Amino acid sequence: MQLDVAIIGGGPAGCAAALALVSRGHSVIVIATPYDRVKPTETAVPALARLLRSLGAAHALRACEPCSGIATSRGRTTPVLQPAISNPYGHAWFIHRTRFDACLQQTARDRGAQWLAEGARSLAEDSGWSFNLNNRQAGFRSLGGHRHRLTSISRSSDQSESSAI
């Protein structure tokens, strides 16, 4: 198997990266451990809608609900209310993460991203990168500079080493 990019992690960031790369003509594999727990509902800033539209994934907003504003204490000693009424991008969002993630993952697959439901542990090497999967090994060949090409994903003969992931 020869691919341009391997993305480790299939959450919103991994899916967004996959969608952006596939839309630019790159071949992509997402390597992501299956997540079988229900994720909590989260909040997102109004710009979420714009970001999803730019990825061609506005339909993921069906897993979201409008929210009038966000009160946050992140990085502060007292909570601060961020009302959405003055935001040029409109209202904020509640995100039902389990449905949201599932929608983005399906969209990435539908657009052509390959999906491997396994854990990965990367190892830097002089000639490029390689990483171990649960029962396979993947290798990258350097194309010069910071560019690397995934050259193979094959079943590892040494199961004991890779099972430590």
Q: Which residue in 5, 10, 105, 153 binds ligand FAD (CB under 6 A)?
A: 10
The residue whose two tokens read 């714009």 is 50
Residue with smaller CB distance to ligand FAD, 108 or 148: 108
Cβ neighbours for 106, distance < 8 A, ≥ 6 positions apart: none
Interface with ligand FAD in residues 40-99 (CB under 6 A): 40, 42-44
Token pair belonging to 153: 């994903």
Q: Which helix (H) or strand (E) holds 121?
A: strand 120-125
Binding piece for ligand FAD, criterion CB under 6 A, among 3-11, 76-84, 103-111, 151-159: 3-11
- Of 5-13, 77-85, 107-115, 146-154, the window that binds ligand FAD (rule: CB under 6 A) is 5-13
Residue nearest ligand FAD, CB atom distance: 11
Number of residues forming the site for ligand FAD (CB under 6 A): 17
Among 6, 7, 8, 64, binds ligand FAD (CB under 6 A): 8
Count CA atoms closer than 13 A to 53's CA, side-chain side.
6
Pairwise CA distance, residues 14 & 107, whole Å: 12
Q: Give the C-alpha separation, 6 to 86, whole Å.
A: 40
Nearer to ligand FAD, 101 or 148 (CB): 101
Q: Does 14 bind ligand FAD (CB under 6 A)?
A: yes
Q: How many CB atoms lie within 10 A of CB 164?
A: 8
DSSP state of 59: G
Shortest CB 104 distance to ligand FAD, Å: 9
Residues at the contact surface with ligand FAD, assessed by CB under 6 A: 8-14, 31-33, 35, 40, 42-44, 119-120
